[in-house]
Chain A
Amino acid sequence: MAAKRLWKAALVPGLLCCMGLGAALTWAGTVRVPDLDLHDSRLDNGLRVILVPDHSAPVYSINMAYNVGSRNERPGRTGFAHLFEHMMFEGSANVGKGEHFILVLNNGGGMNGTTNEDRTVYFEELPKNQLDLGLFLESDRMQALNITQANFENQRKTVQEERRQSIDNQPYGRAELDVDNLSYDNFAYKHSTIGSMSDLDAATLQDVKDFFRTYYAPNNAVLTLVGDFDPDEALAKVKKYFGSIPSQPAPLKVDLAEDAHYGERREIIYDPLARLPEIDIAYHIPPGNTPDNYAAQELAVILAQGQSSRFYQHLVKEKQLASQVSAVADARIGPSLLYLSANPAPGVKAEDLEKGIDDEIAAVLKDGVTSDELAKAKTQLLRRFIDQRRSSLRTAILIGQYTVYFNDPTLINTIQDKQEAVTLDQANATARKYLVPDQRTVVTTLPAPPDATASAKPAR
């Protein structure tokens, strides 16, 4: 569905700046959210520890970010990093299977874990008087995971159900995976994070033990705490719980480089679960935390985020070619993608919608975006930045992510300046350089008759 990717944009850095508005409006002054006070240190065993006191609510959030994602998988073991994440909840030396959920939820908290191409994060939010509980749970499983064949079989099947629920039993699931698959040649980002069913079946218990030893070491992790605690007291507790965990040799780095692409890549998918066509497009953009990537974030807003965006006003409202449109730009460690997605209006053919999209991109390349549009994009990103700041959990996850990706936790404060620094010339130069047919992937999904099996073919 066209809107599907939008929520991932929440992990995109927010922004702030002086804002210019449309002609009829006046801006009531610059807003700058105060910088967070980061206490950044490292234990002897290499664990990076970042503490951010915040006494506005009697809670705290803890995020453990491991420097490992699906990019670290090898052929034959796709989906393994995510499967391993599930194993982290199956028990450790002093915590039983399922007990993690029980302890956190029954003491007034919430928790989850997520895996993507670049990192795996584990997080809890708890009332402030449960600081020891959170630290204990994260340190116990970093130290000694309890891995059994029965637990492993259970989570293998759980992950396979997750794949069925979010991909195989949904319209456009196949398209979502194929866009990345076609866009990348380097195996690291080419294959899906959820993995193939056969690779998930092939994973072994020994793989789990090896993976744990290689990647789940304190020197490969970042611990972030945000909330209502005293930083000195918190650091002492962190040392108490994590200090004796031995470091491991640093894992091998993964080469994420993409060779140059020549020529557009296309595919048609016949999807028996889809009732409407969909067009999914991806353009190559530079890695996150680069000037051109920040420009691409703002281009994505201008193109198709919000109802004043170009795609919404021209394709949905004026020309009535599309019923839904969306755009989002990734900010990965490696080469990233700017995704566009659209569904046609009733009676409109997919190729006519694609022509409409092409016309919009051509207009941007020819005449550029305007300074009003750029200012509006910056304002919308500011708004998200402020919303994220309200949540200690969101803040802790972002800090951990910035540190794993870019070795820079202060991005939680400085990102606003980096977004502000994007100039109109730069935004338009970025568009001309990257929004080109030679550097893009187009996946078209068409409804197939019911009971057909899903099939796809490359399209020339």
Chain B
Amino acid sequence: MKTLGLISRLTWQAVLAFVVVAFVAPLAPTATGQEKAVPLSKVERLDRAPVNKEVLRVKLPRPVAVKLKNGLTLLLLENHKLPTVAFSLWIRPGQLADPSDLPGLASFTAGMLREGTERRTSAQIANEIDSLGATLSAAAAFGSSYLSVDASGLISDAPQILDLLSDVALHPSFSPNELAQYKQREEASLEQRLSNPGFLARQAFRRVLYGDAPLSITSPTKESIEKVTADDLKKFHSEHFRPGNSILGVTGDFKTAEMQALIEKYFGAWAGAAEPPLKLPSSATPQAAKITLVDRPSSVQTFIIGGDRGIRRTDPDYYALTVMNRVIGGGPQARLFLNLREEHSYTYGAYSNFNAESYPGDWFASAAVRTPVTDGSMTQFLYEFKRIRDEAVPQGELDEAHRAIVAGFALSLEQPAQVLTSWLTVQHFGLPADYWDSYPDHISAIDAAAVQAAAKKYVDLDHLQWVCVGDRKQIQDVLAKYGTVAVVDANGKSEN
């Protein structure tokens, strides 16, 4: 059975987390496209709907924060709607600590946690989890300064879930036999990833933005999958899996004191002081703007990314960049969507995003457009980039952005796991304890000048990096109009 959505499902869920402002896009310059011009279908506001002008201000429920003797920080957030519990263990430094000759080591380590411990085989772990109707997963996201181990299930099973969680996190066995099987699965995953246009775009984008490892890495390689040994995993685990490096968040139908005692029972014996913060190689100086064309024969669309380096999570520009990002591409009410999809019919959706991390992350806009309108789409992306830089956002649009972000907090109250993640973020990045309480006021203080300053800084046209994944035979000449084009294959090898 196939269910189709009006807008991409994942994007909608991301939009709930923050909110944006939309604006009626004035008539954009027509591109010299390769298609017969379709009459523009104009976005229009009638302002006749009954809107309650009052903004529902809500305070995010705050967890109780406790630091155990062994250095493990706990965040405990009660929620009694349903008889469930969910744990999220964040362990730094994550993939950023991969050795340069073993990209993916953190993700191999995380992926192998479930494949056996000192007391349990992989099959036993799987059977226990499924018998409880629980979940248990671990992942080290590429570009992220932490890896996470997550578990959830019924609150009545909390002791057993904690037993499993602590067992896999603290006592994985990393058996060579299981590792050999894991490698086979990883090899297959890598092959699948290389056929995905979105992945190919992200891979090329990170490489051109950051140059070398670890920040440029988005995936293990065939070589690193082949090379990694059980000893490598053990070494990574013993070096980095320490309570001093970790935060354990938990939300559910418990009493805080009782849950704390239970956690201490399973995690209290864990030992290991915090590591000093990871020293990252300083990023290469930004490159001049150019286009990387990733050749993907048989493509019927071009996947376009245009972006630049952004900010650290703790950067005071975070609020301004949040508002700027919302205005230009934060959802179906934002400028890129209304322009490229609703008016020009180029795409199913166009959006922008940014990743603020422990290092300057990225900001980028993207869309998958049909191949013949690659030219027109590049023109419209540039039009919107210039507009956000050169023109102050009108006051009405700004007011709506402030309003939307504050009003959007209400929806997050339905998902305590989401609320918990918000507080894990505060703890991990060392943001102030009252961060979410003062967040609405900081957002409201962002005026048009601040948005424009952020746009000029982070939509830096002189250093903007484009990545276009598609059929080079059809798009290479067209893209040459927008800058120097370097052609690579799916593995990043030059095809010029």
Q: Are B2 and A194 in contact (CB under 8 A)?
A: yes
Say yes or no: is B256 at the interface (Cβ < 8 Å to chain A): no
Q: Give A27-45 as 1s and 0s: 1 = Cβ < 8 Å from B's Cβ atoms.
A: 0110101000000000000
Q: Give B178-206 as 1s and 0s: 1 = Cβ < 8 Å from A's Cβ atoms.
A: 00010011011101101111000000000
Residues of B within 8 Å of A320, CB to CB, are 181, 184
Q: Are A308 and B129 in contact (CB under 8 A)?
A: yes
Q: Give A84-105 as 1s and 0s: 1 = Cβ < 8 Å from B's Cβ atoms.
A: 0110011100111111011111
**Interface-facing stretch out of B51-59, B262-270, B314-322, B431-439:** B51-59
| Choice from B6, B39, B191, B194 contacting A86 with Cβ under 8 Å | B6
| Choice from B58, B133, B346 contacting A58 with Cβ under 8 Å | B58
Say yes or no: is A192 at the interface (Cβ < 8 Å to chain B): yes
Measured CB to CB, the nearest residue on chain B to A135 is B50
Measured CB to CB, the nearest residue on chain B to A337 is B1
Shortest distance between the CB of B190 and any CB in chain A (Å)? 9
Measured CB to CB, the nearest residue on chain A to B344 is A154
Bound Cα distance A176, B5 (Å): 17
Q: Are A109 and B128 in contact (CB under 8 A)?
A: no
Say yes or no: is B99 at the interface (Cβ < 8 Å to chain A): no
Measured CB to CB, the nearest residue on chain A to B9 is A112
| Choice from A112, A165, A275 contacting B368 with Cβ under 8 Å | A165
Measured CB to CB, the nearest residue on chain B to A161 is B348
Shortest distance between the CB of A231 and any CB in chain B (Å)? 19
Say yes or no: is B298 at the interface (Cβ < 8 Å to chain A): yes
| Choice from A102, A116, A390, A453 contacting B81 with Cβ under 8 Å | A390
Residues of B within 8 Å of A192, CB to CB, are 2
Residues of A within 8 Å of B194, CB to CB, are 275
Residues of B within 8 Å of A160, CB to CB, are 370
Residues of B within 8 Å of A29, CB to CB, are 156
Residues of A within 8 Å of B345, CB to CB, are 153-154, 157-158, 161
Chain A contacts with B in 112-145, Cβ cutoff 8 A:
112-117, 125-130, 132-133, 136-137, 140
Q: Are A161 and B301 in contact (CB under 8 A)?
A: yes
Residues of A within 8 Å of B462, CB to CB, are none
Q: Are A112 and B126 in contact (CB under 8 A)?
A: no
Say yes or no: is B297 at the interface (Cβ < 8 Å to chain A): yes
Say yes or no: is B42 at the interface (Cβ < 8 Å to chain A): yes
Say yes or no: is A272 at the interface (Cβ < 8 Å to chain B): yes
**Interface-facing stretch out of A244-252, A377-385, A432-440:** A377-385
| Choice from B156, B188, B370 contacting A31 with Cβ under 8 Å | B156
Chain A contacts with B in 64-100, Cβ cutoff 8 A:
82, 85-86, 89-91, 94-99
Shortest distance between the CB of B102 and any CB in chain A (Å)? 20
**Interface-facing stretch out of A258-266, A290-298, A311-319, A417-425:** A311-319
Bound Cα distance A391, B416 (Å): 11
Q: Are B19 and A276 in contact (CB under 8 A)?
A: no
Residues of A within 8 Å of B332, CB to CB, are 101, 105
Chain B contacts with A in 35-51, Cβ cutoff 8 A:
38-46, 48-51
Measured CB to CB, the nearest residue on chain B to A30 is B156
| Choice from B135, B185, B331 contacting A316 with Cβ under 8 Å | B185
Residues of B within 8 Å of A453, CB to CB, are 298
Q: Are A99 and B188 in contact (CB under 8 A)?
A: no
Shortest distance between the CB of A273 and any CB in chain B (Å)? 6
Q: Are A94 and B49 in contact (CB under 8 A)?
A: yes
Say yes or no: is B445 at the interface (Cβ < 8 Å to chain A): no
Residues of B within 8 Å of A25, CB to CB, are 128, 131-132, 160
- Interface Cβ pair total, 8 Å cutoff: 331
| Choice from A129, A153, A165, A193 contacting B2 with Cβ under 8 Å | A193
Q: Give A362-399 as 1s and 0s: 1 = Cβ < 8 Å from B's Cβ atoms.
A: 00000000001001100111110011011110000000
Bound Cα distance A151, B50 (Å): 24
**Interface-facing stretch out of B89-97, B212-220, B273-281, B407-415:** B407-415
Which of B6, B43, B122, B337 has the largest number of chain A CB atoms within 10 A? B6
Say yes or no: is B404 at the interface (Cβ < 8 Å to chain A): yes
Q: Are A125 and B411 in contact (CB under 8 A)?
A: yes
Shortest distance between the CB of B138 and any CB in chain A (Å)? 13
Chain B contacts with A in 13-52, Cβ cutoff 8 A:
13, 15-16, 19-22, 24, 38-46, 48-52
Shortest distance between the CB of A404 and any CB in chain B (Å)? 14
Shortest distance between the CB of A424 and any CB in chain B (Å)? 16
Q: Are B19 and A106 in contact (CB under 8 A)?
A: yes
Q: Are B45 and A153 in contact (CB under 8 A)?
A: no
Q: Are B44 and A99 in contact (CB under 8 A)?
A: yes
**Contacts A89-B6, A129-B54, A450-B298: A383 and B153 contacting too (C-beta < 8 A)?**
yes
**Contacts A101-B331, A110-B411, A330-B1: A129 and B52 contacting too (C-beta < 8 A)?**
yes
Bound Cα distance A381, B136 (Å): 16
Say yes or no: is A255 at the interface (Cβ < 8 Å to chain B): no
Residues of A within 8 Å of B157, CB to CB, are 28
Q: Are B44 and A273 in contact (CB under 8 A)?
A: no
Which of A158, A332, A337 has the largest number of chain B CB atoms within 10 A? A158
Residues of A within 8 Å of B298, CB to CB, are 272-273, 450-454
Measured CB to CB, the nearest residue on chain B to A274 is B195
Residues of B within 8 Å of A457, CB to CB, are none
Q: Are B3 and A317 in contact (CB under 8 A)?
A: no
Say yes or no: is A52 at the interface (Cβ < 8 Å to chain B): no
Bound Cα distance A148, B114 (Å): 56
Q: Are A105 and B404 in contact (CB under 8 A)?
A: yes
Q: Are B1 and A8 in contact (CB under 8 A)?
A: yes
Residues of A within 8 Å of B221, CB to CB, are none
Say yes or no: is B383 at the interface (Cβ < 8 Å to chain A): no
Residues of B within 8 Å of A154, CB to CB, are 38, 41, 342-343, 345
**Contacts A94-B49, A109-B411, A115-B3: A345 and B301 contacting too (C-beta < 8 A)?**
no
Residues of A within 8 Å of B288, CB to CB, are none
Which of B133, B157, B195, B413 has the largest number of chain A CB atoms within 10 A? B133
Shortest distance between the CB of A44 and any CB in chain B (Å)? 23
Which of B54, B299, B333 has the largest number of chain A CB atoms within 10 A? B333
Residues of A within 8 Å of B187, CB to CB, are 323, 346
Bound Cα distance A117, B83 (Å): 35
Q: Give B327-345 as 1s and 0s: 1 = Cβ < 8 Å from A's Cβ atoms.
A: 0000111000110011101
Measured CB to CB, the nearest residue on chain B to A110 is B16
Q: Are A117 and B1 in contact (CB under 8 A)?
A: yes
Shortest distance between the CB of B74 and any CB in chain A (Å)? 23
Residues of B within 8 Å of A337, CB to CB, are 1
| Choice from A109, A161, A275, A389 contacting B370 with Cβ under 8 Å | A161
Residues of A within 8 Å of B488, CB to CB, are none
Say yes or no: is B444 at the interface (Cβ < 8 Å to chain A): no
Q: Give A204-223 as 1s and 0s: 1 = Cβ < 8 Å from B's Cβ atoms.
A: 00000000000000000000
Say yes or no: is A108 at the interface (Cβ < 8 Å to chain B): yes
Q: Are A127 and B191 in contact (CB under 8 A)?
A: no
Say yes or no: is A168 at the interface (Cβ < 8 Å to chain B): yes
Which of A103, A180, A194, A372 has the largest number of chain B CB atoms within 10 A? A103
Q: Are A306 and B4 in contact (CB under 8 A)?
A: no
Shortest distance between the CB of A293 and any CB in chain B (Å)? 13
Q: Give B354-371 as 1s and 0s: 1 = Cβ < 8 Å from A's Cβ atoms.
A: 000000000000001110
Say yes or no: is A182 at the interface (Cβ < 8 Å to chain B): no
Q: Please name 21 pairs of A and B residues whose Cβ atoms are closer than 8 Å in the assembled complex, sorted by A.
A: A31-B154, A56-B414, A59-B414, A94-B46, A97-B43, A98-B45, A99-B43, A101-B332, A102-B45, A107-B403, A108-B55, A113-B6, A125-B411, A133-B52, A150-B39, A168-B300, A169-B299, A274-B195, A308-B130, A317-B122, A383-B134
- A25-B131, A56-B414, A330-B1 known; 11 other A-B pairs, CB under 8 Å? A98-B22, A105-B333, A108-B409, A115-B4, A132-B52, A150-B42, A276-B188, A344-B188, A386-B83, A387-B84, A392-B414
Q: Which 8 A-B pairs have the closest CB atoms?
A: A108-B407, A96-B44, A323-B188, A98-B43, A383-B133, A157-B345, A379-B133, A154-B41
Chain B contacts to A: CB under 8 angstroms = 1-7, 9, 12-13, 15-16, 19-22, 24, 38-46, 48-52, 54-56, 58, 81-84, 114, 122-123, 126-135, 153-154, 156-157, 160, 181, 184-185, 187-189, 191-192, 194-197, 297-301, 331-333, 337-338, 341-343, 345-348, 368-370, 400-401, 403-404, 406-411, 413-415
